[in-house]
């Protein structure tokens, strides 16, 4: 379903797992969302991350 928002809890879990070194494929499998969705949120996080 295009442009469906995911729960904030899943967004936080994406960032937590990705920061721990878990692959995008495994994250999408664990959370039941597509890899494209995971990639989109990770890209957003990296774009606006303060360094």
Q: pTM of the full predicted structure?
A: 0.81
pLDDT (tens digit per residue) in 3-39: 777 899 999 999 999 999 999 999 999 999 999 999 9
pLDDT band at 48 (very low <50, low <70, confident <90, very high): confident
Question: How many C-beta atoms surround the C-beta of residue 21 within 10 A?
Answer: 6
At 51 the pLDDT is 55
At 49 the pLDDT is 75
At 4 the pLDDT is 75
Question: How many C-beta atoms surround the C-beta of residue 46 within 10 A?
Answer: 9
- Quote the CA–CA distance of 25 and 9 in Å, as a whole number: 18
38, 48 contact by CB (below 8 A): no
Domain boundaries, the chain: 24-50
At 11 the pLDDT is 94
């Amino acid at each position: 379903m295009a442009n469906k928002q995911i729960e904030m809890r899943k967004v936080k879990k994406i960032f937590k797992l990705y920061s721990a070194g878990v692959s995008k494929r495994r994250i999408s499998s664990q959370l039941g969302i597509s890899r494209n969705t995971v990639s989109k949120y990770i890209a957003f996080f990296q774009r606006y991350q303060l360094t």
